[in-house]
Structure formats: C-alpha cells, structure tokens
Structure 1
Amino acid sequence: MPDAASSHPSSARQPAVQTAAFCAIDFGTSNSAIALPDDGGVHLVEVEPGQRTMPTSVFYTMEGQPPHADPRRLYGRAALAAYVDGVEGRLMRSMKSVLGSPLIEQGTDVGAGRSVRFLDVIAGYLKHLKSLAEAEAGGPLRRAVLGRPVFFVDDDPVRDAQAQAALEAAARLVGFDEISFQFEPIAAALDYESTTDHEQLVLVADIGGGTSDFSVVRVGPQRAAQIERAGDILASHGVHVAGTDFDRQVELSAILPLAGFKALGPPPSAREVPSKVYFDLATWHLINTVYTPQRVMELRRMKTFYADTQLHTRLMAVVDERLGHALMGEAEGAKIAVAEGRPAHIDLDAVEPRLSTTLGEAQAMAALEADLARIVKAGVETVRLAGVTPERIEAVYLTGGSTGLAPLATRIAAPFANARTVRGDRLASVAQGLGLHAQRVFR
C-alpha cells in the first residue's frame, strides 16, 4: 500500500502571509475543496459564492475568444452551467478517474483544433483551487496535503503508484514544492477520532455522487498523533452506485413515465416503446446526445409507436425545449424532499401546462431498493474483508452528500448492532480531516 504521508501546507483566515503557509486539498471525483489553517484549527475556503465545495468540472470553450487565443476555462458550477446551456465546448468531469491510466499523458480535444493533456487539465483545476486559497491566505502556498483513495486502481499496485505520482506531478506543476498524501477514509475518521477516549474500530461510509466507499479504520487517542496511518485501514471496498444513480431512479420512476417511459404501443401488439431515450435523459452525461439533429429526427418518427400519442408529444417537448437537465434537477429535488420526510410535488409545467406529479416515500424507496441493497451489502462485505465480526464495529461514520438520505443511513448502520451512528459534515469532512493532518505534518 502506498505511503500515506510526506509533507504539505495550508494558510490562515486572515489576509496575511503566513511563515509556514500550507493547505490541504480534497480532489474528489465529484466535488473538491481546499482547507487552510486558522487559530481554531482549519477551515474550508469559499471556492464559489457561499460554497465550500465545488464540482470537479472544467469547461473549455472558444466562444467569444479570438481565433488564435487559448480556450477559455470555466470551473465548478460555472462549467456545468455552460454545458447545460449548450455553450459550444468540452466539459471535463471525473478527471480523477484518469489517474493511473495511460491517458494521463495523452491529449484530449477541447475544440477549435486545440488539444490539452489530461495531466494539464487536472493541474489547471488544482491551480484554480490554489489561487482561491492564496487570495484568502494573502500569500503563496508551497506545501500541501492531498487526499487519495486507498486504491486509485484496484488490484494493480504499479498503476496505483503511477496514479499517485501523476497527482503529485500535477500539484508540482502548479507550484507546490512539498507534497504529502493521506488516505481519504483516514481523513474522514480524524474528526471522529478527536472525540474518542479509547481505541476502537469505525466503519467509514463515504456515499458520494458516483461511488459508495467503505473502510474499516482503527482510531484512538494513542494513534491520533501518528503521521503514518496506512496500517490503521483494515479493509476498503465499494460500489459504483451513489447519489446520481438515486436521481436517475427517481426520474425513471416518477417523471419520465409521464413522457412515455414504459408506455405501450397501439394494439394488437401493444409492445413497450423503446426505452433508450429515457435512460439517456436520466443519465447526466448522456442528456445532450438526445438533442443532436439526427436523434431528434429519429424520435419524431417514433410517434406511431405510442398508443397514447400525448406521451410522445410530451417527450418531444422535453427534447425540443432541452429540458433534460431541468428534469434531473426536479428528480434531485424530489429525492431531497423525501429524504427530509415530506412528499415531493414535482412541477412539470415546462413540459405541458398544469402537468405535475408527486413522489412519496414508499414510491421513492421502491425505486431505490436495488441500489440501496447493493450499498448496504458493500458495507457488510467491507467488515468481512477486515476479518472482524460486525459486533466489533463501535461506530459507523457517515460522510458524503448522499448520506443525507435518512433511510440509506439507517440501513447502512443496521447490521452493526453495537455501533453508534455518527454523522460528519456530508460534503466537507474529508477536506477538514486532511487539514487536520496537514497541521500535524507541517507544524
């Protein structure tokens, strides 16, 4: 297992240059954050107005740029908004997944004949985070702790080491001289560890937007001051099911049937209409593929496939008005409402005047059942891989944006009868923990 610690910096809340400035960066698959030290510990930089985390997204566009200029780059929510609005360009997401692959040194087309190395895409994103932190710190940051998963690449130590080396190379490209790494589940557990009075085992459940990751971690007051913590991770496991999958299932269950999903054709065959367009409309990165002229023509010709042609009319309204991302937003909002214990009213007036539907807890849980079961099973399997019985887990520590779904949190904890459930900051606990580790490394 790779070495988890070396050395790195952060900065302070006051706009004054620090003599030992350092930061900690949580470069996540879906969202990222950067932490700086302050008098009371650490805090997260406001990376967007009112936001301490930012989508790990970059959008390259030549719109509005002179012919020979470099592409303009947008980051985070601005990058996603440009893509959703149909600005011509290239959206880059989930860049972390390229680490450890041969793609990292290869170029990718970003429009107008321009090509950018994947390594430089990652470096540019890190530079953006770093510049925001330096503006708040009032001076340059040369040292950093970076988070890393227990395994960038499963079952391949060589590629795993290459992935960490690539992330370090990107950090050095943007001006970090001292770089230390810490495992993300250790970082997530550090906040909980500060409250413990004895050594114990904790199951860290990080349920994000794209993956659900579990680790069994040994924590305790005697271990808190140690820099090297790789040996305290007894097992890690996960599944590629998480928040965006929940949104997808909600949309397919509650919204898209009103536009023909699972609708039947006219008799006598009464066959179910083709479903690919609906799955694409419910998959974030495939929505824009539905809007291509050729695809739109194909969808228009499908009208005779529907016994109820009004359903096809609604489908074409979604396509013609480019409402795919808006519907995903409605699905996410409905999921959140149900998670907060209230039925969700879904307004679809943009599709058809006065069209709406509701989503109750029973329907939502039925739609999510298969995904929830896979996630819960992954948590139990992680404990088995650690070689301990469920009774030995004393705490289940929940982090990641999707742990706000109360039924999911309850079901994750249920197999561990002796464990108390502890909720960390859903979006910021890893970055906060990395900041605490950075203090120990650099001070």
Structure 2
Amino acid sequence: MTLACGLDFGTSNSTLGRVAADGHPLLVALEGEHQTMPSVLFFGFEDNRTYFGRAAVAEYVTGAEGRLMRSLKSVLGTALFADTTRIKGRRLGFGEIIGIYVAELKRRAEARLGAELTQVVMGRPVQFVDDDPVADRTAQDQLEAAVRAQGFAEIAFQFEPIAAALDYERQVSGEKLALIVDLGGGTSDFSLVRVSPDRAGKADRSGDILATAGVHIGGTDFDRLLAMSRVMPELGLGSRTRDGKRHLPVAPYYDLSTWHRINRLYDAQAIRDLRSTMREAVETERVETMVMLVEDRLGHRLVGAVEAAKIDLSDRDRTAFAFPVREREISTAITVGELGEALEQSVRRLETTIAETLQRAGVVAGDVDSLILTGGSTLVPAVAGRLQAMFKGAEVVRTDVLGSVGLGLAIEARRIFGD
C-alpha cells in the first residue's frame, strides 16, 4: 500500500501530515512522540553516525566531534547551494544533505504509518529568493530533485501560507477575509484568502487567493541581527585597527552570526585571516576571543545561545547573555527594547510587504476579518505586536505555530492525490 502526505520542510522545523480515515488531518510523530523534528543534522566523526533533529542538537551540545548542519532551506536558490561540506573523507553538496534529512523523515513516517509514501505535497515559501523569479524557480527545482531522489514519485507544491489557510478554514462557520502571516525560520509570507465552509471542498481555490507576497526574512535573520547588534561588538565588531585608518572587516562577524555561513570560518585560510586581523586590532583581546571561538568550532553553539536569548525575551524585559570560550566569557545584557531596535529595519520590511499585499488585493486593513499568525517567529513580541497593531479590528488567530502548514499540506495532498 502507498500513501500521500504533506511535507513541510522548514528552515527550523519540519512536519509530515496525513489525512486520517475519519477525514481529519493529523501530524505523524517523527521523533519519539514529537510531531515536529528540528531540521538539523549532525555528522558524528567519532562514531561515523548521522543524527537528526533533537538528537543531532543534543549530540552537538555534548561537545562530540562532528559537523552540525542547520538552516539548509536557506541555501536553496542561492550561490551557496553549489558549495560542498567536508564530512571526514568526503564532500557533500547541500542537495545531498537535504536528501539525507528528507530520507530519514520519510523513513520514520513510513515506520509509523506502516506503508510507503510515494505522493507528496511540499510546502514552499511565496518567495525562496526575493525579487528573482529565476532563482526562485531554481530553488523549487533543487528541492524537488532532493525529494524525488528519496522515492517520492509524484510531487506537488503549495504555498505555505495557503496551507495554513486550509488548516484554519476547518474552524470557520462563515465567510471571512483572512490575512495569513507565516513567519518562519527563513522567510515571511503573507496571503489574503477568502475562507468559508462552502469554499473548503472546492478543487480550484485560485479565485479565493486575492494576493500573496513574501520576503526573505525569518527567525534566523532575527538571530543574526541580534547577534550583530549585541554580541559581535563583544568580539570586536565596530572597533578599529591600531593605525586608526579603518574599522575591522565586517564579513567574518556576519558569517559567525549566520547559521549556514559559519562553516566557512572553519577553513584554514579564514582562521589565518582572523589571526591577522587580531594582530592589527586595537581591541586585541576581544578579537582573540573570536579566534579561540572559531578554532574550537563553537560558532553554531554561539548562535544557538543568541536564539535562546531572543526566545527568553518573549517572556521578560531583560536577559543576561553569557557564553564561555575557554577560560573567558562573552557576556552582555539584552533588553526587549534593544531586541526591537535590532529588528527594526526587518519589521519595517514586513510591514511594507503586508501593505503591498493589501494593495494588490485592492483592500485596506479594516477589511480584514482575521489575522492568522503561524510560524515560530510570530512568538517574538517585538514582531507580533507591530503586526497586530496594523489590524486593530481583526480577530487574532494563533494556529499551531509549528504544525498548521503540515496539516494544511495534508489536506491538499488528499485533494490532489485522493486516498
């Protein structure tokens, strides 16, 4: 027996959904009883094993020697996709690494379901790459090739915010104009959709989608911006060379703050360049701490600590950031206000993109009945509060922030493939 499913391969987390025999969509448990699996791999060098999801993060945090891979979706459609990563004696391309992750996710789901999965509706952002239709198409093709190589014979795609609308539509009793705000790990997508029980069964919903827009901003960007604003200055960002003629180069700090670029700093030449920068720097000790951090391959762990600080600021006004590097410590305090300042330009871009979405549909904010928030980044108050302020008269609906897209994709898979 073969089955159809919906697969939400996310920048931060992934889910796989199926419509049950009773007609209700459900998410398949992928890691123990967890229905989400972090989109993370860890290639262990000591035992030659590959770890996935929470197990990958746990293995990495213990200090095991190996290579952590995260935010893989962010490289689709970019020049980075052509790069390779050394895993002991071999080099793997990003398409192969994505395939390894999808294959494991598929294997786990099939073990739970007791049947082979051969048909899939994949979620995709409205734009993989901003304002570049060729790169956007390339990104979808790259993802499709990686998924097809794992045994999915029939593959369809649906916009992630539309999938979230399909999940929400199960709850409505009358017609509503809904703005779906999907703030994920790598992209933010917005869709104006008419939803109602009567429309739910239609095969063609294209007429109900009034407008869509997206921008390549997400949770990993928020982490990078917070790191650049509050943590990288502790490592010398913004300081000058001893001759006072120039600031230290920004690129290494940007790479250290960006998940999918961190591995570039572990190159022998990159480390030599950092040591050269250290010798030129006024704040030698700060840059020396950065060199130590890179030498010890603590980059991903550092950004993980920044992400934890961002999450901590969802519940409090201030958090203390402390990160050990050998006998030293990177320490600073971060406030909600400083997080808001770090994200200000990105939030403005989100607001501008929403305004463009409304303009394309020929509606104003007051016409929107429901503001549907999905995706993990909607939990950041500095972001969600600003977006909610744009739609003061709308009902704010918080879906399953990590699962609604997977559920909607399952509904779409049932519509397209049956079963």
TM over 0.5: yes
Given that residues 46 and 64 in structure 2 are in contact (C-alpha distance below 8 angstroms), is that contact kept between their aligned partners in structure 1?
no
Given that residues 121 and 157 in structure 2 are in contact (C-alpha distance below 8 angstroms), is that contact kept between their aligned partners in structure 1?
yes
Do residues 23 (structure 1) and 16 (structure 2) align? no
Do residues 207 (structure 1) and 189 (structure 2) align? no
Give secondary structure in 2 for the equivalent of 1:273: coil
The aligned residue for residue 44 of structure 1 is 27
Q: 1:382 aligns with which of 354, 357, 366?
A: 357
* Structure 1 gap ranges (5+): 1-18, 66-71
* Distance 1:180-1:353 versus aligned 2 partners, 3 A rule: closer
Q: 2:173 aligns with which of 197, 202, 219?
A: 197
Given that residues 36 and 133 in structure 1 are in contact (C-alpha distance below 8 angstroms), is that contact kept between their aligned partners in structure 2?
no
Given that residues 90 and 110 in structure 1 are in contact (C-alpha distance below 8 angstroms), is that contact kept between their aligned partners in structure 2?
no
- Tell me how far 1:36 sits from its aligned partner: 2.8
Given that residues 368 and 391 in structure 2 are in contact (C-alpha distance below 8 angstroms), is that contact kept between their aligned partners in structure 1?
yes
- Tell me how far 1:60 sits from its aligned partner: 7.5
Deviations 1:67-113 (A, max 9, x none): xxxxx7665566778899796779586458657x9999x99787799
Q: 2:252 aligns with which of 261, 277, 302?
A: 277
Q: 1:239 aligns with which of 199, 206, 215?
A: 215
Cα separation, 2, equivalents of 1:163 and 1:287:
21
Deviations 1:245-285 (A, max 9, x none): 1111211222222221112444x737533333222211222
Cα separation, 2, equivalents of 1:114 and 1:429:
38
- Amino acid paired to 2:223: D
**How large is the Cα RMSD of the aligned pairs?**
3.9
- Tell me how far 1:208 sits from its aligned partner: 1.1
Q: 1:34 aligns with which of 3, 16, 22?
A: 16
- Tell me how far 1:391 sits from its aligned partner: 1.4
- Amino acid paired to 1:222: D
- Tell me how far 1:214 sits from its aligned partner: 0.9
- Amino acid paired to 1:224: A
Which deviates more from structure 2 when the two are superposed, residues 254-263 or residues 25-34? 25-34
Aligned pairs for 1:359-398 (under 5 A) are: 359-398=334-373
Q: 1:188 aligns with which of 164, 171, 176?
A: 164
Which deviates more from structure 2 when the two are superposed, residues 285-294 or residues 239-248? 285-294
Deviations 1:40-91 (A, max 9, x none): 82322232345423344667899877xxxxxx76655667788997967795
- Amino acid paired to 2:29: E
Do residues 134 (structure 1) and 110 (structure 2) align? yes
Q: 2:321 aligns with which of 346, 358, 375?
A: 346
The aligned residue for residue 12 of structure 1 is none
The aligned residue for residue 322 of structure 1 is 297
Given that residues 213 and 353 in structure 2 are in contact (C-alpha distance below 8 angstroms), is that contact kept between their aligned partners in structure 1?
yes
* Distance 1:251-1:426 versus aligned 2 partners, 3 A rule: same
How many percent of aligned residue pairs carry the same amino acid? 41
Cα separation, 2, equivalents of 1:385 and 1:370:
23
Q: 1:424 aligns with which of 399, 402, 405?
A: 399
Cα separation, 1, equivalents of 2:155 and 2:199:
22
Structure 1 or 2, whichever has the larger Rg, is 1
* Distance 1:332-1:152 versus aligned 2 partners, 3 A rule: closer
Given that residues 186 and 229 in structure 1 are in contact (C-alpha distance below 8 angstroms), is that contact kept between their aligned partners in structure 2?
no
Which deviates more from structure 2 when the two are superposed, residues 294-303 or residues 195-204? 294-303
Cα separation, 2, equivalents of 1:408 and 1:207:
10
- Tell me how far 1:433 sits from its aligned partner: 1.4
- Amino acid paired to 1:24: G
Given that residues 96 and 146 in structure 2 are in contact (C-alpha distance below 8 angstroms), is that contact kept between their aligned partners in structure 1?
yes
Given that residues 70 and 259 in structure 2 are in contact (C-alpha distance below 8 angstroms), is that contact kept between their aligned partners in structure 1?
no
Given that residues 183 and 230 in structure 1 are in contact (C-alpha distance below 8 angstroms), is that contact kept between their aligned partners in structure 2?
no
Do residues 311 (structure 1) and 293 (structure 2) align? no
Cα separation, 1, equivalents of 2:260 and 2:369:
39
Given that residues 10 and 185 in structure 2 are in contact (C-alpha distance below 8 angstroms), is that contact kept between their aligned partners in structure 1?
no
Given that residues 201 and 218 in structure 1 are in contact (C-alpha distance below 8 angstroms), is that contact kept between their aligned partners in structure 2?
yes
Matched residue pairs, number? 416
Which deviates more from structure 2 when the two are superposed, residues 268-277 or residues 244-253? 268-277
* Distance 1:228-1:79 versus aligned 2 partners, 3 A rule: farther
Cα separation, 2, equivalents of 1:54 and 1:439:
23
Give secondary structure in 2 for the equivalent of 1:348: strand
Give secondary structure in 1 for the equivalent of 2:14: strand
Given that residues 223 and 303 in structure 2 are in contact (C-alpha distance below 8 angstroms), is that contact kept between their aligned partners in structure 1?
yes
* Structure 2 gap ranges (5+): none
The aligned residue for residue 411 of structure 2 is 436
TM-score with structure 2 setting the length: 0.82
The aligned residue for residue 54 of structure 1 is 37
- Amino acid paired to 2:352: K
* Distance 1:239-1:353 versus aligned 2 partners, 3 A rule: same
* Distance 1:141-1:259 versus aligned 2 partners, 3 A rule: closer
Given that residues 71 and 260 in structure 2 are in contact (C-alpha distance below 8 angstroms), is that contact kept between their aligned partners in structure 1?
no
